Amino acid sequence: MKTRKFILPEHRMPSAWYNIVADMPRKPLPPLHPATRQPLTHADLSVLFAEELAAQELSTERYIEIPDQVQALYRIWRPAPLVRAIELEKALDTPARIYFKNESVSPAGSHKPNTAVPQAYYNHRQGIRRLATETGAGQWGTSIAFAARHFGMEVQVFMVKVSYEQKPYRRLMMSTWGADCVASPSRLTAAGRTALDRDPGCSGSLGLAISEAVETAMRRPEDTRYCLGSVLNHVLLHQTIIGEEALMQMEMADDEPDVVIGCFGGGSNFAGIGFPFLRRNFREGKRIRVVAVEPASCPKLTRGAFQYDFGDTAGLTPLLPMYTLGHEFQPADIHSGGLRYHGAGSIVSQLLRDGHIEAQSVAQTEALGAGVLFARTEGIIPAPESTHAIAAAVREALRAREEGRPRTILFNLSGHGMIDLYAYQQYLAGALKDHAPTDREIARTVGRLERIL
């Protein structure tokens, strides 16, 4: 009988994160201070983030030790299983072998606690008592609420309004863990009030919610710091535990991926599954394809420009070198809230620019169709975000069938969709529409960017 699950014992959980910057042939360009346009220093970053996180953001060390207290909390759900998707293979009648890393087993139901726990830990260790952050679909808000509770910290979450209304259950998870969650735009901040005065019906965006959270943290430097669930180097770093485990588990399976796939919002779960495999390309001369999958409605990797841009709508964050649709880009209200972000992290952007990774886009009906197929074969109802990775894996498996050539596919199941059933209701009712911005829409927001490069 074929083995379905590859389970690492707790004592084999990796004890270091992997910093891909150490191995990149061309390093990412530096983040710039929004006012001076000079490269950011550790001191600049420490105003917003915990000292240790600021250091990790700029680090070029190949490995960074995972603190014992973080490892202990990781063990609530880690190591996460690697699963051979045997039933999906059968349904696709493919010669490909398909594996997925199941990150839906965390308390919050996604990969995000992998970085929420160390972020809360490093802030707490420095005496910070309150965290301010934003959340799209609510996955990050729930993850930081869970992690901060463990260290007795307060959390103020700004949740993108469209999700706040569509996803009351994530709000309730945050409340259960004791965080304070408001809809963004809110009247608590100047950025929120400006947006509401301009358009009272504004459904919000991740970029705008970031502006509100950054402003909240900057107003109380004595006890509050900002934290972010994606995009930044230190966030991608923490997620590499996913791929480090998967490397060992693929070895247990006596197999090796030809292609590694992750869905793409700001890049963290993609980096998590992909970077340890890219290390094999850089250091061992392997040629593993690593593929990022974004929604067709928010196509920064496949249709955006490589430019310095802000992480938020109001232009308060550092300027990052990234593939971007422009920080004023308003993506359509698709169900994958976690993928509605205008830009990509700077490491991932540099890797794409240099041809080390690939990017694809998938429309939401194709994605959710793949999600339903996955649910009906493997049983797990995936997060709408994760269905983008599944759709790309299905494309690969069908290509293997057409070509009559086996291959090994690994994708990251970044989360489950038990709190996103509304998306499935819409899909099953045939009510979902696909959205893609026109070239003119993209050119308008990209065209407004200041040309720094």
Residues that bind ligand PLP (CB under 6 A): 110, 112, 139, 230, 263-270, 338-339, 383, 385-386, 414-415
Please report how close the Cβ of residue 441 comes to ligand PLP at its closest, in angstroms: 22
Please report how close the Cβ of residue 275 comes to ligand PLP at its closest, in angstroms: 12
Please report how close the Cβ of residue 311 comes to ligand PLP at its closest, in angstroms: 12
Question: What is the token pair recorded at 70?
Answer: 């973080």
Angstrom distance (rounded) from CA 328 to CA 306: 15
Please report how close the Cβ of residue 162 comes to ligand PLP at its closest, in angstroms: 15
Which string of DSSP letters, residue by residue, matches 33-94? -TTT-SBP-HHHHHHHS-HHHHHHHH---SEEEPPHHHHHHHTTTPSPPEEE-HHHHHHHT-
Task: Specify the residue, 266 or 321, whose C-beta has the smaller distance to ligand PLP.
Answer: 266
Please report how close the Cβ of residue 236 comes to ligand PLP at its closest, in angstroms: 8
Angstrom distance (rounded) from CA 347 to CA 246: 21
Whether the CB-CB separation of 277 and 288 falls below 8 Å is answered with yes
Please report how close the Cβ of residue 349 comes to ligand PLP at its closest, in angstroms: 13
152: left (phi over 0), alpha (psi -120 to 50) or beta: left
Task: Specify the residue, 82 or 339, whose C-beta has the smaller distance to ligand PLP.
Answer: 339
Task: Specify the residue, 216 or 268, whose C-beta has the smaller distance to ligand PLP.
Answer: 268
What single-letter amino acid sits at 189? Answer: T
Contacting residues for 287 by C-beta, under 8 A, at least 6 apart = 281
Angstrom distance (rounded) from CA 209 to CA 166: 16
Angstrom distance (rounded) from CA 300 to CA 306: 9
Task: Specify the residue, 110 or 211, whose C-beta has the smaller distance to ligand PLP.
Answer: 110
Task: Specify the residue, 163 or 307, whose C-beta has the smaller distance to ligand PLP.
Answer: 163
Task: Specify the residue, 266 or 318, whose C-beta has the smaller distance to ligand PLP.
Answer: 266
